Amino acid sequence: MNKPIHTDHAPKAVGPYSQAVLAGETLYVSGQIPYVPETMTPAGDDIASQTRQSLRNVLAIVEAAGFQKTDIVKCGVFLKDLSMFGTMNDVYAAFFGDHKPARFAVEVARLPLDVLVEIDAIAVRQ
pLDDT band at 45, cuts 50/70/90? very high
Q: From start to end of 52-101, where are the E strands?
A: 72-79
| Domain around 66 | 2-124
Query: What 8-state DSSP symbol labels residue 13?
Result: P
> How do residues 60-88 score in pLDDT, each as one tens digit?
999 999 999 999 999 999 999 999 999 99
The Cα 93–Cα 100 span in angstroms is 8
The Cα 59–Cα 29 span in angstroms is 9
Q: Output the domain CATH number for residue 83.
A: 3.30.1330.40
Listed residue (45, 22, 20, 18) closest to 34, CA to CA = 45
Instruction: Provide the number of structural domains found in the chain.
Output: 1
In this prediction, residue 51 carries a pLDDT of 98
pLDDT band at 26, cuts 50/70/90? very high
Name the pTM for this structure: 0.97
